[in-house]
Amino acid sequence: MVKKFFYIFFIGLCLDTSLPAQELAATITIQSNKVDNQVDAKLFPELQTQLKDFINQRKWSSDIFAAEEKIDCNFFITIESVVSPGVFDAKLSVVSNRPVHNAAYTSTLLNMQDANFTFKYQLAQPIEFNENRVQGANALEANLTATLAYYIYVILGLDYDSFALKAGVPYFEKALNIVNNAPEGSGITGWKSYDGRRNRYIFLDNFTKAGYDKIHGVIYNYYRDGLDAMSEKPEIARTALLNALMSFQEIHEASSNSMAVPILMQAKYTEIVGLFTPADKAMKKQLLTTMSAIDIANLNKYKEKLE
């Protein structure tokens, strides 16, 4: 794989940067079977098409992305109920993937579930987002695009961080702008620190609050020094991976309000087991100690494969 930032820099010298340069190759799926008998049959197919265009055709950064450089990501919206005409309670699942240098597989950067997604959508409603006016004219309509834009900037932040040291910071700051100016209204949750133990505010706080700067470098170490180097220097790369995971553990244990590390570890079990199966006993022992702190849900699986 061509290194993203060198690639972008090169073609940025060669091409007119005013040309469209969308960053995402997203799929959007809306599961609405719970409410299909309560809404117009055209509503959710239309919304799905509109959201696909909104995410994939909008320019979210100033960089140039070739087709093969676009970020593979998925947005899965499950409509849970109709609150009132045109207003829906939903769950949102967001997954983004990153290619690995000289490998035939991709690595999951983000695998997150958001259970607090309430929005308004009616037939022919325009899908609009203005980062200078996040709240829009209607809070429930704005919450649809504000939530999606928030996750888009998180995806960009993680992807950029994984290729260049702290390169994702500007995108986390854009997501923070959305949090600070998020729509407010009846039924809208997830934007405030007190909206439960797991919410958009807390997750982003783990990337932007003073004292959490280290996480950006650890993401870079895991992907560039670890995954991307496995094909050429596997022993050195495996050590870099373990050091990165131990650093994630330090970040996680330093705060009782840590949400980011466990989420970043979701869906990593198969990848980590595959990478560390050839490791010696001492390295495996340290890995198990580390994963017991940052991926408790899969600890027994790690023990089964690595002890």
The verdict on 226 and 107 lying in the same domain is: no
pTM of the entire structure? 0.92
Non-local CB neighbours of 227 within 8 Å, separated by 6+ positions: 100, 101, 103, 107, 237, 241, 275
How many distinct structural domains can be found in the chain? Answer: 2
The verdict on 234 and 94 lying in the same domain is: no
The verdict on 120 and 190 lying in the same domain is: yes
The verdict on 199 and 284 lying in the same domain is: no
pLDDT at res. 113: 96
Enumerate residue ranges in the chain where pLDDT < 50. 1-20
pLDDT at res. 21: 53
116, 128, 203, 268 from 193: Cα distances, Å: 13, 26, 10, 27
- Three-state secondary structure string covering 225-238: HHHHHCCCCHHHHH
Span 95-145, pLDDT tens digits: 999 999 999 999 999 999 999 999 999 999 999 999 999 999 999 999 999
Cβ–Cβ < 8 Å for 119, 143: yes
Chosen domain end from 191, 208, 225: 208
pLDDT at res. 255: 84
pLDDT at res. 10: 35
User: Which domain covers residue 233, as residue numbers?
Assistant: 212-307
The verdict on 138 and 256 lying in the same domain is: no
Chosen domain end from 183, 208, 233: 208
The verdict on 219 and 165 lying in the same domain is: no
The verdict on 200 and 265 lying in the same domain is: no
The verdict on 59 and 86 lying in the same domain is: yes
